[in-house]
Amino acid sequence: MGALHAGHGSLIDRARAASASVAVSIFVNPIQFNQPDDYTRYPRPMDADLAFCAARGVDAVFAPPVEQMYPRPQTAYVEVGRVGDHLEGRFRPGHFRGVATVVLKLFQIVRPDRAWFGEKDAQQLAVIRRMVEDFNVPVEIVGVATVREPDGLALSSRNQHLNAQERAIAPLLYTALRASQQCIASGQTAASAVKRAALDVLAADPRMQVEYLEIADEAEMQPVEMIAGPVRVAAAVWLGRTRLIDNIRC
């Protein structure tokens, strides 16, 4: 969706190292926004993005106008199924339907051999992996680790909406996720106790409004009550008008 930062840079670098040609799509996709305000506010620094891509050796940027991607109102959509039911899907109705639909369209147009996605959007990655498998789309999906600021805040195009005070407390989200990770590492298997460890950290600052904090299996993003294998602890918090998400593998 553009507004490229070092997180996207890491995707490009991984693609560049593995591929003869690298294409980047830049498209702020209207059908995945469930809040018109979020769509309008989403940054679109196209000149900077193109320079960013050029500097990293990208061969092609696909940045279509909205009318080219949606020449008329979309009729067919990807129905993503249960992978999109919880976490983000619960609080952003229609979001993954819009994401999966535009990613399928982009794959059909660009026809890449491989595509790189950030683990920052872990549920999006799970939705896309499952769609590609279920529809036999001939694209290999590669997940890439989240890039963070030195204080732990996950890079996001939305971070620029934070004011100085909000920015100062934003790393608390990652601190909370690490607390849950440590809780699991120390042997705790009850999801409720692991969640409490993270929520206790977030409770330290009342400006952090938790929308959800959930523990889910990686493949289908279903909430678990007992932790018996690899899981993602994922959360969404509001800081003023800005919504931050992050997750950690445990």
Angle between helices 6-18 and 46-55 (to 10 degrees): 40
Beta carbons of 69 and 102 less than 8 angstroms apart? yes
In the range 37-76, which residues lie near its own copies by CB under 8 A? 74-76
| Amino acid, single-letter form, for residue 97 | R
Least CB distance to its own copies at residue 71 (A)? 9
Q: Which of 86, 92, 130, 243 binds its own copies (CB under 8 A)?
A: 130
Cα 36 to Cα 50: distance, rounded to the nearest angstrom: 26
Q: Does 97 bind its own copies (CB under 8 A)?
A: yes
Whose Cβ is closer to its own copies: residue 122's or residue 179's?
122
Measured CA distances, 38 to 21, 26, 205 (Å) = 33, 17, 24
The answer to the question of residue 140 lying near its own copies (CB under 8 A) is no
**Residue recorded with tokens 């959509």:** 77
Specify which residues 238 forms β-bridges with.
209, 243
- Supply the minimum distance, in Å, between the C-beta of residue 127 and its own copies: 8
Query: Toward its own copies, which CB reaches closer, 104 or 172?
Result: 104
Which residues, 6+ apart, have CB-to-CB distance to 208 below 8 Å? 169, 172, 173, 202, 237, 238, 239
Q: Is 131 in the site for its own copies (CB under 8 A)?
A: yes
134 binding its own copies? (CB under 8 A): yes
Contact with its own copies (CB under 8 A) among 44, 111, 114, 207:
111
Query: Any contact of residue 83 with its own copies (CB under 8 A)?
Result: yes
CB 25 to its own copies: min, Å: 12
194 by Cβ neighbours in 10 Å (0-12 / 13-18 / 19+) ranks as buried
Q: Which helix (H) or strand (E) holds 231?
A: strand 231-239
Q: Is residue 101 near its own copies by the rule CB under 8 A?
A: yes
As beta bridge partners, residue 154 has: 148
Interaction pattern, residues 184-223, with its own copies; x per rule: CB under 8 A:
------------------------------------x---
Say whether residue 4 binds its own copies (CB under 8 A).
no
Active-site residue, 8 included? yes
Shortest distance, CB of residue 101 to its own copies, whole angstroms?
8
Report which of 13, 5, 214 is spatially closest to residue 116, judged by C-alpha positions: 13
Catalytic residues: 8
Site of interaction with its own copies (CB under 8 A): 74-83, 97, 100-101, 104-105, 108-109, 111, 130-131, 134-138, 220
